[in-house]
Structure 1
Amino acid sequence: MQVLRPIGDALKPVVDLVYPPRCPLCGAAIGEQGGLCQPCWGELAIPGDPNCTSCQRPLGHGAQDGMTCAVCLTYPPRHDGIAAATLYNDASRKLVLAFKHGKRIALSRLMARLMLRRLGALSEDTLLAPVPLHRVRLWQRGFNQSALLAREIERMSGASLALDALRRTRPTPSLGGLSRKQRAKALQGAIIVAPNWAARLKDRDVVLVDDVLTSGATTEACVRALKKAGARRVTIACFARVLDEALPHAEPVPPPM
């Protein structure tokens, strides 16, 4: 008996004919949609070893895997680890801009695949909670990029999607240039757990999904809300991590097999 292919697979030759696969970074021809050319794969980077087991900051010469950096010792994080698919450099920045502001939402599959590689296997009991947008920002952009990434990770991993578990109650100002205390004050009470999710989060493992992790103030507010609701572990998963001190020690991202 002939097995029917999914509609997406059946239409793939037509899509490739009308829109020949191109690398989203440099425009070079590639073998299939949703990938990068070989040179551009080499431009993406991940933190090199050894790095902090909690936040991925590079450790000094002679350090060993499993150690914690000075920042995390001084300011113990509420989260239970960070899984960053890439470091924020020119290549990852171009992908993020094309995805979030260029509205090339098809890139979510590639980005989520790289995030899941760093996360590893997820159980179906794990909840995927995207960092929320305020409704005004959501209306302006038309989509929540973190929610698109979380949905793709759900599709690939079998974990459970908690799409509306977190809610942003008010718009928040840009956090650039603010001190740690100022960022915390700007976000105080701005992110809460939705009432219908409060009981379902208790004793659950949660992956907080974001596209770019910068200062960590927004994700910190999300983690705080999730832990207050009773979440057991909260891991932060992002596509790109702004960690300039890690770039000199970075390693290339291997292309998916």
Structure 2
Amino acid sequence: MFEALMYPDNENRTKRVTDLGSDCVHSSNALLNQKVLLESAMAKVNESFKNAFGSVGKPVQFERLDLTKAWYVSAAPGIASIIGSALVDRVFMQTFARAQLEAGKITAEELGSVFKAPKWFNIRRFGSSMGAALVISLVFEAAIDAVNGALVRDKMQQAIKDMSTPRFQLKRAEMVNDVLIAVLTGMAAAYDTQVRFLKKMALSDDVKNSMLETFTEEFIIEAQNKIAEINDEAVIAALAQIDSTRGSWLNEDGKPDTSLVLHKTDSPDVVKI
């Protein structure tokens, strides 16, 4: 009773740490599914691209794209232009790292470094159970006496600040992947539509080929613009909407590190095969 009166916001702090942890787990798990969807979408684009240009007698030379140091795909010409940016490079590395954790190739701590998460936050441990388990772990590992309200306050305040960056990094990766999957899926469907349209036109193969190349260039520019829309402000707005929907307590939230800089501890070992 006394501790509750002296530190009335400790309950709010505990709930906020749980909210942030839940968001991280949700986005982290989304990355697993998105890796599969990305590979499938790229394969569909390749097939549609091959069919489209094959219909006008033009052979296609596919490119080998290294999405990370150990994750590569075969891609139709132009795909590299869509995904070739510091932002997408970072997201692919993060997505691959999440899959590597699932495969047992890296540790939860190594994955945490990719998203700049505090060492006490173990995504694998909290992947199936959140809520009190997360907070109990934090309290235990930080050697906090649970009845000492001042220490609980201090540790929870720090935890809230520490969790702001991994939540942002994970949400950004999730959002970028969603756009990429939608763009690639749309591109495959658009090529299929173009082929059906061109088959009805009494034009030479050279003219049709030129039309397909123009279409490809325009689609690439449109795709690049859509990816560019996933900037810091867009991610922060998406997270704010989540917080607003559940009525989150935001009084002590920290400012996330939104940088794309790859630090020495971020990635060297996440590409182990």
Q: What TM-score do the two structures reach when normalised by structure 1?
A: 0.27
Higher relative contact order (CA 8 A, sep 6+): 2
**TM-score computed with the length of structure 2 as normaliser:** 0.26
